[in-house]
Every structure is written in C-alpha cells, then in structure tokens.
Amino acid sequence: MIDKNHCLRLDEQDPLAPLRQQFALPEGVIYLDGNSLGARPVASLERARQVIEQEWGDGLIRSWNSAGWRDLPQRLGDRLASLIGAGSGEVVITDTTSINLFKVLSAALRVQAERAPERRVIVSESSNFPTDLYIAEGLTQMLEQGYSLRLVDSPEQLPAAIDQDVAVVMLTHVNYKTGYMHDMQAVTGLIHEAGALSLWDLAHSAGAVPVELNRSGADYAIGCTYKYLNGGPGSQAFAWVAPALCNLVTQPLSGWFGHARQFDMATRYEPASGIARYLCGTQPITSLAMVECGLEVFEQTDMQSLRRKSLALTDLFIELVEQRCAGHDLELVTPRDHAKRGSHVSFEHPEGYAVIQALIARGVIGDYREPRIMRFGFTPLYTRFSEVWDAVQILGEILDQKTWAQAQFQVRHSVT
C-alpha cells in the first residue's frame, strides 16, 4: 500500500522540483488541469509590463524593429522546435490552432490535388478534438469537389480506413479525452505506404511527451501553446511543415505577413520562402510575447526528464485511485501501457461532471469531458507527487460521502 510518506520522499528526490518555483500557483489549490490551461510563469508578469510600458509605451511603432516584434513568430518557433523534433526555421508561432489547421490541411490537400487528384478523402478519428473535425468538415464543404471526411472509432480501424482514396490522415497525437498516444513513426509510415499525407495535432503532446516530427517522417503539424507550454489563455498556436513540402504550395490565408517582401506593398501576393509563408496577418504582440516565458522554463530541462516524471505521476495517480476509490463505479479509460499514454489520466464515472465540481470546491482542479469523463492533467514542471496523494484522498472522500449529489454541483456551467 502506498502512503503519503512515500509520495513526500518522491518529491524530495525529484530533480525537477525546483522548477515549480517559476510558476505562480495559488495556495490551497492542487492544479491538475494544465492539459487545458497551463499555470502562469512568474516571469510573465514582468514580461507583460515590459511589452506594455517600454516596448509599446515608449518604443511605440519603432518596436517593430527595435524590439524585434516583426520576427517574433519565427524566433519563438525556433525556441519551440526542439520540443517537437523540428529544426531551426521550421516552426512559426501564430494565430489559433483552428486557423493553423485550416492552413496546413488546405495546403496538404493542394499538394495531393497536384500529385493524385483522385484522392479526396480526409481520415480522422470520431474522438478527435471537435475543432479539428469542424475545420475539416467546413473545408470539404467549401471545396465542393467531392471531398469528404471519413471517421474511425478506434486506432485499430485506421489501417483499413486508409485506402487509395485517402489524401490526408489528420490525427491528434495524444487523444484529448482518453490520453491515448499514437506511435507517430509507425502510423506515419502506414499513412505514407498508402500514398497519403500525415497531419498531426500536438495540442496534448507539445511540452508533455517527446515528439520527433522529422525523425518520424511527419508531413504537417499544428498545436497550441496554452496547455503544457504555459503561454497563457488563448495564446498563439504553432504550425510546422516538413521542409520538403513547405514551398510546394501556398496556404489559402495569404496575408501580408506571409509575403516574400512585405513592405514592398505589392499588389499581387508572392509567398515567402519556407515556414514564413504560413503567417497571415499582423501579430498580437502582447499575447505572443508571453509564450516566451513558458518556453524559457523548458530550456532548463529536457523532454526525457519530463517524460519520466510524467509517467511516474500518472502511474501513481492510477494506482492510488484504484487503491483508495475501489467500488465507486470508476472506469479507467487511459491506457496503462506507457507507450500509449500521454500526460493526463481519465476516469469515467456516471456522475463525472458533478464529481469534478465537488473536487474544484475542495481545491482540486481537474475538468470534465462528455460523456462521463473526468480528466486529470499532470504537468511535470510543477505537479508534486504529494499533491497526487492529497487529490486522491479528497476524491475518495467525495465519493464515499456522495458530496457530488449536492444541488450546487449539478448545475452545468458554460465551460466544463
């Protein structure tokens, strides 16, 4: 049986423990929702003040040059690149995940239209994050050329679904509900063998699990920076395109920041070379600058160390829940296999929403996803092993006492 002293010893032995001090976490809160919104880096407050008071207030428009605002998407992209197995000059941080997905999916379909115009199917999973499916659905309707979206209900169904009609396979590397993680290299190989292109959503991967885009032979990738990367609410997303594909086509949102000679003010669009062509309009500098604070923390460690702690945290959580909360209709939906698990753990419960609300009232913040799924994210940069113990004890008390049945926890909020 695991006791709290064991968890406290794990905290004492944790080489990543000092990094927690670089995050502003409120007292009395156990934060297990970094997979939705990462905690605020302490440095971000001073960085925001610098941007607003000095760069904007004093520098005014001069800061596009003097403070390097113009090159911020590429400079931040280079700092992110090593976390996802990309090279220098291959990543831009810009726009939202949905917008970047529209860009790269459109580009991938254009590449395939020139190579194999008969391929007009996009394959994805029915459990993929909804915005990915909505963007793909909207794009197929806009093209009106016989394009369609084909969904599978499980990873095991993928091989049969990828046939000669498929242009692009669009997958989220770590499933947002279950935490299931695809073998990127193996699945990309399968996609290429069938003559299709791969597009990976790294929203629940970047900063949480090691990713090797180039080594895996991936074609396109997008993801957000406000989860494990701690860029702030609604912070800009990122886009990556394999160098061999980057200059083959232009993406459809051909704004002036993606122009080869932006300040020529030319009438006709000419795309920049490389990943810069995936920029669009003027960048939201104040928000974008905050992303750098989160990336700076990652440069003090490495993804292998973070992955080891992530697996230790999630192993501990699963074991403690099954030890403390047995007999309470909890069903683990996250893989036990390390090779198939991301950095969050999900349990189903018939009253999952109400249980999460009761937990939040006790200072344990997780979140809920339909149907019946309680999600708990474990961010190695700041989550303690002893917090895992405390969270599970509180969960057990809520289930034992049926606290979740109180009327206040049955009220559905607009954000779950």
Structure tokens at 254: 């051909």
Q: Is 227 a catalytic residue?
A: yes
Contact 249, 110 (CB under 8 A): yes
Cα 357 to Cα 121: distance, rounded to the nearest angstrom: 41
The DSSP bridge partners found for residue 92 are 239
**Residue 213, H or E segment:** helix 213-216
3-state secondary structure string, 384-411? CHHHHHHHHHHHHHHHHHCHHHCHHHCC
The alpha carbon of 314 is separated from its chain's Cα centroid by a whole number of angstroms, namely: 18
Q: Other C-beta atoms within 10 Å of 132: how many?
A: 23
Let me know how long the chain is.
416
**Nearest alpha-carbon partner for 280 in 261, 260, 254, 247:** 254
Among candidate residues 227, 324, 369, 372, the one labeled active-site is 227
Instruction: Calculate the dihedral angle through the C-alpha atoms of 284, 413, 343, 292, rounding to the nearest 10 degrees.
Output: 20
Cα 244 to Cα 42: distance, rounded to the nearest angstrom: 39
Can you state the percent helix, strand and coil of the chain, rounding each to 5?
Answer: 45, 15, 40
DSSP-based three-state secondary structure for 124: strand
Among candidate residues 40, 103, 324, 375, the one labeled active-site is 375
| Helix (H), strand (E) counts: the chain | 14, 15
Among candidate residues 132, 165, 201, 219, the one labeled active-site is 201
Beta strands in 116-185 (DSSP E): 121-125, 148-152, 166-172
Cα 193 to Cα 55: distance, rounded to the nearest angstrom: 50
Q: Is 261 a catalytic residue?
A: no
Q: Is 201 a catalytic residue?
A: yes
Among candidate residues 23, 102, 220, 226, the one labeled active-site is 226
Catalytic residue annotation: 129, 201, 226-227, 375
